[in-house]
Amino acid sequence: MIPNVAEQKASLRKQYRVLCRSVAPEQNAAASEDLRKHLLGSLYWQDSQRILMFYPLNDEPDIAPLFTQALAAGKTIALPRYNSSLGVYEAALIRNLTEDLVPGRFGVREPSPNCPAVPLNQLDLTLVPGIAFDASGRRLGRGKGFYDRLLPGTTGMKLGLAFDWQESDALPAEPHDVELDAVLTPTRWLKVI
- Cβ within 8 Å of residue 70, ≥6 positions away: 51, 53, 77
Please tell me the predicted confidence (pLDDT) of residue 84. 87
> What is the chain's percent helix, strand, coil content, to nearest 5?
30, 25, 45
pLDDT at 6: 87
Domain that holds residue 181: 5-190
pTM equals 0.94
**Residue 132, pLDDT above cutoff 80:** yes
In this model, does residue 186 exceed pLDDT 70?
yes
Confidence (pLDDT) at 1: 40
Closest CA to 180 of 162, 188, 31, 55: 162
In three-state secondary structure terms, 136 is coil
Residues whose CB falls within 8 Å of the CB of residue 182, separated by 6 or more in sequence, listed in order? 44, 137, 157, 158, 159, 160, 189, 190, 191, 192, 193
The domain total for the chain is 1
Mean pLDDT of all residues in the chain? 93
| Residue predicted with more confidence, 102 or 3 | 102
Q: No. of H helices and E strands in the chain?
A: 5, 13
Inform me whether the pLDDT recorded for 54 exceeds 60.
Answer: yes
Q: Is 10 left (phi over 0), alpha (psi -120 to 50) or beta?
A: alpha
pLDDT higher than 60, residue 2: no
Residues 134, 183: Cα–Cα separation, whole Å: 8
CATH classification of the domain holding 86: 3.40.50.10420
In tens, the pLDDT along 91-118 reads 999 999 999 999 998 889 999 999 999 9
Pairs from 4-10 (Cβ < 8 Å, separation ≥ 24)? 5/172, 5/173, 5/174, 6/174, 8/172, 9/140, 9/143, 9/171, 9/172, 10/143
